[in-house]
Structure 1
Amino acid sequence: MVTITDVARVAGVSKNTVSRYLNNRGYISEQTRNNIQKTIDLLHYQPNQIARSLYSQKTQLIGFVIPEIAHPFFSTMTSYIEDELNRRGYKMILCSTMHSEEKEKECIDLLMANKVDGMIIGSHSLDINYAGIGSPVVALDRYLASSIPVVSADHVQGGMIAARAVIEHGCTNVAQFIGYSKVRSPSFERYRVFAEQMHKHGIRCVSFELGLNQFEMEPYLRIADKFLTDNQDVDGIFASDLIALAIQKRALEMGRKIPEDLFLFGYDGSYVYKFASPSLPTVIQPYAKIAERAVDVLIRKIEGEEIGQMEYTVPVTAYLPEREQLSAQAQESVSDDTSTIFHEVALGI
């Protein structure tokens, strides 16, 4: 097995110089750096990660905690966060809690036992003391604690985009499907803004609240069946992509025309909206930019930098079938008045 001594001998430098290069400590000339790296590549040297961790007091490991890996939003987000961490020299430990608060607690304990340098948490548990985690934490689209920064898409902007599309389509009686209200999330801004715009333009809008950690397609299809049966006069729906696709599937099976009889507007913009037929207009969350910002904020916390800003939002875009990618800037005609509280109704399924 190739050792650091072998690298130093072939490169013609001291073991201390190789060690400083591997741990990015102290000044080393560019020529010496290039020489050491060429030697490492030549000898296929693999640094001892345990020894490096003891030296630097860092493991270069980051925990990512989500409720459901199979859900398109979380699977897409996982891919981008792993890529961004890798680009910054970190590895990711993924924990999918499978909607279980007990499993999430076990995951966090596991991450702490592995001495991760930090965590990005996007799970939906309600009774965990996130502020008490002894490691830097960044929240993904969740309000976990006042001391934990949160990164999300600009949901106000997203709600405006959806509202404008529904208004321009000429809908008069609309519904939106909202997440579980006890989960504190920036995403509720899109529901609030959407409902307010409907009220401002004299359009009836009812909001249907989903249950906690309700992510699977089969329950969505049952919800779609009940909703379409009980609300045949609704002509517009705003919902996340999977719910919108479930409703579209059932509506087409019932003989309704899309978008003539029922106008659907989605939210998320992962790969699934591309399978819709007819095409599904949707707000596209900026996965790569969210990942970049979340990782950047977390690394700054790991490095001891003071984080003054606690909320970070990233602009969204939208897919409109007739116009392809639409810049989210063109929202001038929609008011930003936000004084109306929307109506909440639980869909008991």
Structure 2
Amino acid sequence: MATISDVAKYANVSVSTVSRYLNGKGYVGEKSRKAIEHAIQDLNYVPNEVARSLSTRQSDLIGLIIPDIKNPFFPELARAVEDTAFKYGYTVILCNSDEQLEKERHYMQALTKKYVAGIIITSLFQYESNPISNIPVVALDRPINMDIPTVTTNNIEGAKIGANHLIDCGATKLLYMKGPVNITSSEERLEGYLQAIQGKGIESHLIESPFEFDAAEAIAFEYLQKNPSINGIFASSDASAIGAMKAALRLNKKVPEDLQIVGFDGIQIGNVVTPTLTTVAQNIYELGETATEMLIQQIEGKTLPCTSVHINPQLIERDTTKKEHKR
């Protein structure tokens, strides 16, 4: 692999001249410029971006840390980040923390050492202080610290919408499948659900489930076996809702005739499963796009007009709820 020294030797110029050409700073004569361009082409030279970022204190790399790449929500979110970053001339480095604090911190340190321009992070954990103080950071989907700009969904209102839809469709005995207790969005959705059912004479059941298809299926199967009269499920993620649909199938419960189900996320697979999933859809693309634009504004030294953005979700009515039965 050719080095900057090889380019300088081939073009018969100094290394510092090649460096000025690559960084776009300082004078380089026309004859030298053409010689360097020919050398780069003939030698197939690729500049070392890390070295350039060291010398110029500039980088076109953005780090993205997500907690669970198996959950379809996060690849869709990552796609939005990547699309937006590319539009502005940045390249995304994707890291999957597997919901592990040690692994998350490792990636923070590794990305900083790679001289990324900034980091977007979706974390399960709360930090007392900014864990990355020397470069711009944006928290996506879940807040992690008051000092870090955040882009989230309005989870409380979204949960109200989902619960009220089930009630309006005639469900009277509800099972709420809440997410893990340490996730802010899970707690907010639980709050919205409880507000929605208050004073409406609804029989309510509550279980905790990870945002995973198989685990949610097992949990829902066991609970529905013991509580066969439940006629509505509101799951705090689409993955959990689809797991509940599989559990209902195993128990010979018809959806939505015997059991109505609403999810939360709006991932694409919800429109592929049978029956198609009614869900409270987050605007996943807008979440990723907004977070990326906020990060780039910070990278470019601009003042953010707002450091906390809440994006409203919307109900998508499909085939796991009854459209004809309104209370």
Q: Give, in angstroms, the shift of residue 169 of structure 1.
A: 0.8
Corresponding residue number in structure 2 for 1:287: 284
> Identity across aligned pairs (percent)?
32
1:205 aligns to 2:201 (yes or no): no
Q: Which amino acid aligns with 1:230?
A: K
SS at match of 2:102: helix
Which runs of at least 4 in structure 1 moved beyond 4 Å after TM superposition?
A: 1-5, 14-20, 43-48
Corresponding residue number in structure 2 for 1:73: 73
Two-structure CA RMSD over aligned residues (Å): 3.2
TM-score between the two structures when normalised by the length of structure 1: 0.75
Residues 298 and 130 of structure 1: CA distance in aligned 2, closer, same or farther (over 3 Å): farther
SS at match of 2:171: coil
SS at match of 2:65: strand
The 8 Å contact of residues 84 and 293 in structure 2, kept in 1 or not, is answered as no
Q: Give, in angstroms, the shift of residue 18 of structure 1.
A: 6.7
Corresponding residue number in structure 2 for 1:83: 83
Whole-Å separation in 1 of the counterparts to 2:129 and 2:291: 17
Corresponding residue number in structure 2 for 1:272: 269
The 8 Å contact of residues 218 and 247 in structure 2, kept in 1 or not, is answered as no
The 8 Å contact of residues 130 and 144 in structure 1, kept in 2 or not, is answered as no
Whole-Å separation in 1 of the counterparts to 2:108 and 2:176: 34
The 8 Å contact of residues 241 and 269 in structure 1, kept in 2 or not, is answered as yes
Q: Give, in angstroms, the shift of residue 222 of structure 1.
A: 1.4
Corresponding residue number in structure 1 for 2:97: 97
Whole-Å separation in 1 of the counterparts to 2:179 and 2:211: 10
Q: Paired residue for 2:242, among 240, 245, 249?
A: 245
TM-score between the two structures when normalised by the length of structure 2: 0.79
1:303 aligns to 2:300 (yes or no): yes
The 8 Å contact of residues 177 and 238 in structure 1, kept in 2 or not, is answered as yes
Corresponding residue number in structure 2 for 1:132: 131
Q: Paired residue for 2:222, among 212, 223, 226?
A: 226
SS at match of 1:103: helix
Residues 158 and 174 of structure 1: CA distance in aligned 2, closer, same or farther (over 3 Å): same
The 8 Å contact of residues 238 and 265 in structure 2, kept in 1 or not, is answered as yes
SS at match of 2:130: helix
The 8 Å contact of residues 65 and 122 in structure 2, kept in 1 or not, is answered as yes
Whole-Å separation in 2 of the counterparts to 1:319 and 1:231: 28
- Aligned pair count reads 299
Q: Give, in angstroms, the shift of residue 267 of structure 1.
A: 1.0
Where structure 1 has 5 or more consecutive residues not aligned to the other structure, the ranges are 6-13, 26-35, 323-349
Whole-Å separation in 1 of the counterparts to 2:303 and 2:199: 42
SS at match of 2:198: helix
Corresponding residue number in structure 2 for 1:122: 122
Q: Which amino acid aligns with 2:155?
A: H
Whole-Å separation in 1 of the counterparts to 2:97 and 2:224: 32
Q: Give, in angstroms, the shift of residue 228 of structure 1.
A: 0.9
Whole-Å separation in 2 of the counterparts to 1:279 and 1:132: 41
The 8 Å contact of residues 63 and 116 in structure 1, kept in 2 or not, is answered as yes
